[in-house]
Every structure is written in structure tokens, then in C-alpha cells.
């Protein structure tokens, strides 16, 4: 057992400083580069912009150039895609591939728990996610803990941990209240959180000092109010996890500077969820989508964005929420989530617009490696 844990840790550590040499800034190395040029009818850049008839050059898993009519190196393989390319989708708040180990029921506060330790790169869950165009997920400690520990951003292929200690997960919803153990009340939970943040240690002190964003789970409207008041009291920043009831409170959330990890939708869900996201979007709140996997199918991520567009959210904002904004919320915007020079080549080749549910996925690349789709 111990060996297994050590092994997993080693893998995780390996991911943090990936073994394959990653080219950053295009400094030449002795080893020959594997260069691929992608051409597509349209590139969605992940920051809300689109580029028609664009090109993308990828060298050794990193995007080296994005634009129109770029010079293609002679050695490059050229992939002409009669469709759309977007950055890989990013699922916030997921527990896929963590083997159900993101909740420690014996302790209500475990600030230094690291979700990366629950990461199982070989999990079959990730195959499902890749097939849905998801190239990175944020493994997030369970909302049932008052302080669940820190989340980790991982790739759905290659055992790569993009970032560990990404967000400190706090439970401010009734899910963190218990039937027969402390805390059973909101006031009990708040007191304990206040106590922990008044005299902070470990990850909590990082969060209290503003060096670690928090991710506060909320449910109903009163919980959102309580969470924002708590954050203001301790000068915290980060994101709320849970958007269903956020509609009327969108201006208050905007004023707080918090982002929102929206609840995912299923087919048949009430329209309130989408309305809330629309209100957040109109208030100018940054948001991404959580994925309650494995309880939900990974396709729900894209479905949620599409539902929001149907409810009136700007399609560009919705696409950004799936990619660039999600990366920002998880604190990895400098590495994934957009098609830009220097970022990881996590790409999805679509038949059409990603938020059109009729669009299908033709290929998925993670770190430049084709992981979905037949031909190399």
C-alpha cells in the first residue's frame, strides 16, 4: 500500500516538472523538434476571439505561433482541418480520475491535503473526458469538508499535473454541515473557519495572505451571501463553486471580485441554472463550468455552455468559459486554455462551433500528442 502511494506521488511530482523537455520561448535545443502545422477554417483562441482561415504551429507539444499565412517549417507535418480548432476544454471542480479519494470523512478541516495525491493518471475516466474534448480537469476536494485542501489541475493524458495547490477548497454550503458531528450549523461552520483564518497555518496562511485563491462551495442564496461576507472579512479572493441560485446576487458577486464555477447541467434541468449564468455574464463576472464527474457525463460540460448560450449568454463568453476563463480561474492561464504562443498544445479539432451540440470532435491533441482521432 505504501509503495503504491509513493509511486503515485512520484508520478504526480514527475508531472509537475514534466520529464519530456518542454520548449518554452523557442530556445533551440540539440534534439530535433517535432513540428506540426495546423490549418483550419476557424480558430477559436480561447480569449473570446476567433481567427478565420488561421494557422497554428506546434513544436514539441508547445504552440509556437498562431496567425494567418504563417511560414511553415519545411520539416513540419501539415494538418489541414476542414473545420474549427479550439483550445482543449477545461473542467473545473471534477473528481474524475481521483478514485473517490477527494473526501476525508474523518476530519472537517484538512487544509494541506493535496488533490494531486489522489490523481490516478491511468484512470479510465480520462478516456471519457478526452473524447468529450476535455484536456484538463481541476481535481477539487469535496464540498463536504469545511476545508478540503487544495485542488490540482491535471491533464487528461500523460499523467501531467499542470498545477498543484491551485485553489483552497472551502465548504460554505449545507453539504459541509453534518447530521451527527461538528459542525451541524452555519454558525458553527463559520466560527471554525473564522478560527482557522484568524490564526492561519499552512495552505490557509497562503490563502489568508492572498497567495492562494479560495474556492468556496455554496448552494442557496443565503450561502452565497455568507460566503462573500466571510471572504471580505478575511480579504480572500478566488471563486465561488455553485451558481444555481446566483441570479439575483450577480451584482454582489461582481462587486466582490470573485469568479464563479458554475454548476453543470443535465438535459432536462430547470432553466434557472442557465438564467443564473446569464445574469453572472451580464454582470461581468468571470465564470467557468464545473463538472460533477463521474456523477455526470463529461459531455455535460459542453452541454452546459450550450444551454447558457440558448438562455442568452454571448457565445464568445461561453467558449471562453470552457477554455481561457476556466484556466484563469484555476490559476493556469499562462499554460493552458488559449491558443497562444508558448502555451501547451492542447487542441480540439471540431467539425463546427464547439458550443453547437451538432458539432463533433474529430481529433484531440494534448501536449501536441494526438489522443483522440484515428490518424497520426
Partner 1 sequence: MMTPGLLLSLALGVGAPAAGTYYADVVYTGDGQTLERCAVTVADGKITALTPGVSPKDDAVRVKAITPGMIDLSARVANSPYSVEETYEVTPDFRVANTLDLFDVTWERHLQSGVTTVMASPYDDNCIGGLSVVLKTGGAKDVEKRTVRADAALRGAFGSQPSSRNHPAYGAPDDIFSRRPTTRMGVEWEWRKSFFDALYAQGELDAGTKVLRRALTGELPVFAQAWATQDVRTAVFLVEEMKAEGDAKMRLIVDCGAEAWREPELLVRSGAAVVLAPYDHDGRTTDGAFYALESAKTLTDLGVTVALSSHYAAGPGSVLGAQAGYAMRGGLTFDQALAAVTINPARLAGVDDRVGSLAVGKDADLALWNGTPFELSSRVVGVVLDGDLVVAPE
Partner 2 sequence: MKNQVLSALSTTLAALAIALPAAAQNGDGNLVIKAGKVITNAGETLENGTIVIQNGRITAVGKDIEYPWNAQVREFPDAVAFPGFVEAHTTRGMDRANENIDVAAFLNVRDSIDPVNFYYEDALRAGITTINVQQGADCVVGGMGYVVKPVGMTVEQMTVRPNSGLAMSASPKRGKSRATQAQALRRAFDDLHRYLDETVQEKKEGKDYATREAMFQGREPDEETAKGRPMTGSAWKVEGLELVPRWELDEKQAPLLSVVEGKTRVFLFCGSPMEVMTALSIASENGFLHRTVLVLDNSCWKAADAIAERGVPVVLDPNLMYVERDPLTGEEQRTFVPKVFQDKGIEFALRSAGNSGQSLWYQAAICMANGLTREQAIAATTTVPAKLLGLGDRVGSLEKGKDGNVVLFSGDPLSVRSFVQNVVIEGNLVYDRATDTRAMHLDSGAQPDNTAPYDPNGDWKPHCCDDPTHEHVVKTDEGEDPQEVEEAPAKKHNHPVDGDKDGDKDKDADKQGEDK
Which CB, 12 or 249, lies closer to partner 1?
Answer: 249
Query: Binding of partner 1 at residue 222 (CB under 8 A)?
Result: yes
- Report the alpha-carbon angle 327-333-337, nearest 5: 55
Which chain residues interact with partner 2 by CB under 8 A? Answer: 174, 179, 184, 220, 245, 270-272, 275
Cα gap 333→153, rounded to integer Å: 11
Cα gap 355→171, rounded to integer Å: 31
Per partner kind, with CB cut-offs from 5 to 8 A, the member of partner 1, partner 2, none near residue 360 is none
Contact present, 129 and 91 (Cβ < 8 Å)? yes
Which CB, 174 or 205, lies closer to partner 2?
Answer: 174
| Secondary structure of 168-215 in HEC code, one letter for each residue | EEEECCHHHCCCCCCCCCHHHHHHHHHHHHHCCCHHHHHHHCCCCCEE
Query: Binding of partner 1 at residue 199 (CB under 8 A)?
Result: no
Per partner kind, with CB cut-offs from 5 to 8 A, the member of partner 2, partner 1, none near residue 127 is none
Query: Smallest gap, in angstroms, from Cβ of residue 311 to partner 2?
Result: 12
Query: Binding of partner 1 at residue 185 (CB under 8 A)?
Result: yes
Query: Binding of partner 1 at residue 187 (CB under 8 A)?
Result: yes
Nearest to 301 by CA among 21, 95, 91: 91
Contact string (CB under 8 A) for partner 1, positions 87-106, x = contact: --------------------
Contact present, 328 and 298 (Cβ < 8 Å)? no
Instruction: Determine the interface stretch with partner 1 among 7-15, 188-196, 276-284, 292-300 (rule: CB under 8 A).
Output: 188-196
Identify the helix (H) or strand (E) that includes residue 39: strand 35-44
Per partner kind, with CB cut-offs from 5 to 8 A, the member of partner 2, partner 1, none near residue 275 is partner 2
Query: Smallest gap, in angstroms, from Cβ of residue 294 to partner 2?
Result: 24
* DSSP calls for 83-147: EEEEEPEEEEEE-TTTTT-S--TT-SB-TT-BGGGG--TT-THHHHHHHTTEEEEEE---TTSSE
Per partner kind, with CB cut-offs from 5 to 8 A, the member of partner 2, partner 1, none near residue 190 is partner 1
Which CB, 75 or 271, lies closer to partner 2?
Answer: 271
Contact present, 46 and 136 (Cβ < 8 Å)? no
Interface positions with partner 1 (CB under 8 A): 174, 177, 180-188, 190-191, 220-222, 225-226, 245, 248
Amino acid at each position: 500500500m505504501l509503495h503504491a502511494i509513493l509511486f503515485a506521488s512520484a508520478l504526480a511530482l514527475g508531472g509537475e516538472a514534466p520529464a519530456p523537455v518542454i520548449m518554452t520561448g523557442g530556445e533551440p535545443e540539440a534534439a530535433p523538434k517535432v513540428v506540426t502545422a495546423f490549418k483550419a477554417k476557424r480558430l477559436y483562441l480561447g480569449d473570446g476571439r476567433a481567427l478565420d482561415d488561421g494557422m497554428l504551429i506546434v513544436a514539441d507539444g508547445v504552440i509556437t505561433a498562431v496567425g494567418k499565412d504563417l511560414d511553415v517549417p519545411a520539416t513540419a507535418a501539415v494538418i489541414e482541418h476542414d473545420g474549427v480548432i479550439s483550445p482543449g476544454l477545461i473542467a473545473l471542480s471534477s473528481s474524475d480520475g481521483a478514485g473517490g479519494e477527494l473526501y476525508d470523512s474523518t476530519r472537517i478541516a484538512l487544509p494541506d491535503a493535496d488533490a494531486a495525491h489522489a490523481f490516478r493518471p491511468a484512470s479510465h475516466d480520462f478516456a471519457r473526458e478526452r473524447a468529450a474534448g476535455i484536456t484538463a480537469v481541476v481535481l477539487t476536494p469535496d464540498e463536504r469538508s469545511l476545508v478540503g485542501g487544495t485542488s490540482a489541475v491535471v491533464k487528461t493524458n500523460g499523467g501531467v499535473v499542470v498545477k498543484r495547490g491551485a485553489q483552497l477548497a472551502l465548504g460554505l454550503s449545507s453539504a459541509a454541515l453534518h447530521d451527527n458531528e461538528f459542525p451541524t450549523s452555519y454558525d458553527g461552520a463559520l466560527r471554525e473557519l473564522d478560527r482557522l483564518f484568524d490564526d492561519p497555518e499552512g495552505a490557509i496562511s497562503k490563502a489568508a495572505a492572498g497567495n492562494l485563491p479560495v474556492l468556496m462551495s455554496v448552494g442557496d442564496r443565503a450561502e452565497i451571501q455568507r460566503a462573500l461576507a466571510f471572504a471580505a472579512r478575511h480579504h480572500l479572493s478566488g471563486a465561488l463553486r455553485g451558481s444555481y441560485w446566483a441570479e439575483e446576487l450577480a451584482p454582489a458577486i461582481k462587486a466582490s471580485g470573485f469568479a464563479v464555477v458554475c454548476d453543470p447541467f443535465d438535459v432536462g434541468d430547470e432553466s434557472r441554472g442557465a438564467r443564473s449564468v446569464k445574469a453572472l455574464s451580464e454582470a461581468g463576472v468571470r465564470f467557468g463550468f464545473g463538472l460533477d464527474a463521474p456523477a455526470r457525463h463529461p459531455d455535460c460540460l459542453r452541454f452546459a455552455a450550450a444551454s447558457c448560450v440558448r438562455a442568452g449568454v454571448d457565445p464568445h463568453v461561453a467558449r471562453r468559459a470552457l477554455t481561457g476563463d476556466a484556466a484563469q480561474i484555476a490559476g493556469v492561464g499562462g499554460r493552458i486554455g488559449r491558443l497562444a504562443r508558448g502555451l501547451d498544445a492542447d487542441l480540439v479539432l471540431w467539425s463546427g462551433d464547439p458550443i453547437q451540440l451538432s458539432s463533433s470532435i474529430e481529433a484531440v491533441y494534448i501536449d501536441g500528442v494526438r489522443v483522440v482521432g484515428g490518424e497520426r
